[in-house]
Homo-oligomer: A and B are copies of this chain.
Amino acid sequence: MATIRDVARISGYSISTVSRTINQSGYVSKTAQLQINRVIHQLDYVPNAIARDLSTGKTHKIGAILPHIRDPYFSKILNGIMDAAFANNYSVILLPSEYDEAQEMHYLEQLKRKEYDGLIVTSHGIPLERLEKYNQYGPIVCCEDTGAKQLNAVFSDRESAYTTAFNWLKQKQIKRIAFLFSRRAGVSATSSITLKTFAQVYGDLPPDNLVITGVSTPAEGYFAAKTLNKQATDLQYIFGNGDDIISGVRQYYVDHQLPLPGLIGQGHQISGVAIGIPTIDPHFYTIGGQALQLVLEPTDGVRKIKVHSDFIINNKIDLTPNTFIK
């Protein structure tokens, strides 16, 4: 592989002149350019990216920590990040964590090592305090409400959509509502907000036997339905943590020819449209895009950006091409 030194030597010009030619910066005579470009072509030379990165101190890469991409939630957010990165001439590195703290720490260390120029944390297992500490080593953006913490955030304003949804249920005289969460309220911000909003509308938290945690796949939804069917009588609605998951729930009732309770999904995914259930659309694609924008921004202080979310009652296929991208 030819280097800039080879080009310089063979063309008879100096390294500096070659560098200037490559980067089209500073003064280079037409003749020099011609000569140098000829040699570059002849040697099939291209500058080495790593060397350039080292010299400039930038990698033009942003790391995206996500538990996994099995869930459309993360696919959508990632898609938002990716498109925005692309538009800004950055590329994104996938950093799967499975919520493992050690793994997440590893990625934070990599930020410190300048493996990437910034970090987007879509979801995490480690406490926010830890993230906060690593902010000094490079820009970090979280995709959740970081509250009083000194951490950039882009997150969905779910309260409004949840409030709308719960009021809609209340108006329909619905009382017995079950909840599905992936992680329990202490750990997951989403779970806490859901329950808090519910309590605001209904005046009280749901009973323990109507809150199921540890559900994050359709199959787990299926089993959650089994549990609910056993322990909860008169169940009227199930508020799920994803349309796909609710599909699993529904399957259980269908398989056992049981009367189907009302279902509400989240994520505005295809599966929800297929079975025509109401859903919460938190606009993950937008969140991802904003997060990337923020991580690239010169960080004078901390910024928190709230993204609007919707409760979609009449959930039918959107005929605008490419809508499900987002």
Does any Cβ of B come within 8 Å of A312's Cβ?
no
Shortest Cβ distance from A64 into chain B, in angstroms?
A: 8
Does any Cβ of B come within 8 Å of A114's Cβ?
yes
A322's closest neighbor in chain B, by CB? B217
Number of copies: 2
Determine whether the beta carbon of B82 is less than 8 Å from that of A75: no
Does any Cβ of B come within 8 Å of A115's Cβ?
yes
Chain A interface mostly = helix
Determine whether the beta carbon of A244 is less than 8 Å from that of B217: no
Determine whether the beta carbon of B61 is less than 8 Å from that of A93: yes
Shortest Cβ distance from A311 into chain B, in angstroms?
A: 21
- Given the known interface contacts A48-B114, A322-B217, the answer about A79 and B86 at a Cβ–Cβ threshold of 8 Å is no
Interface residues on A, range: 35 or more
A114 to B217 CA separation, bound complex (whole angstroms): 38
Determine whether the beta carbon of B109 is less than 8 Å from that of A46: yes
Q: Which of A81-133 contact B (CB under 8 A)?
A: 82-83, 86, 91-96, 109-110, 112-115
Does any Cβ of B come within 8 Å of A53's Cβ?
yes
Determine whether the beta carbon of A251 is less than 8 Å from that of B273: yes
Determine whether the beta carbon of A69 is less than 8 Å from that of B61: no
Does any Cβ of B come within 8 Å of A164's Cβ?
no
Which residues of chain B are near A247, meaning CB under 8 Å?
270-271, 273-274, 317
A47's closest neighbor in chain B, by CB? B113
Does any Cβ of B come within 8 Å of A258's Cβ?
no
A contact residues vs B (CB 8 Å cutoff): 46-51, 53-54, 57, 59, 61, 68-70, 75, 78-79, 82-83, 86, 91-96, 109-110, 112-115, 217-220, 222-223, 244, 247-248, 250-251, 255, 269-271, 273-275, 316-325
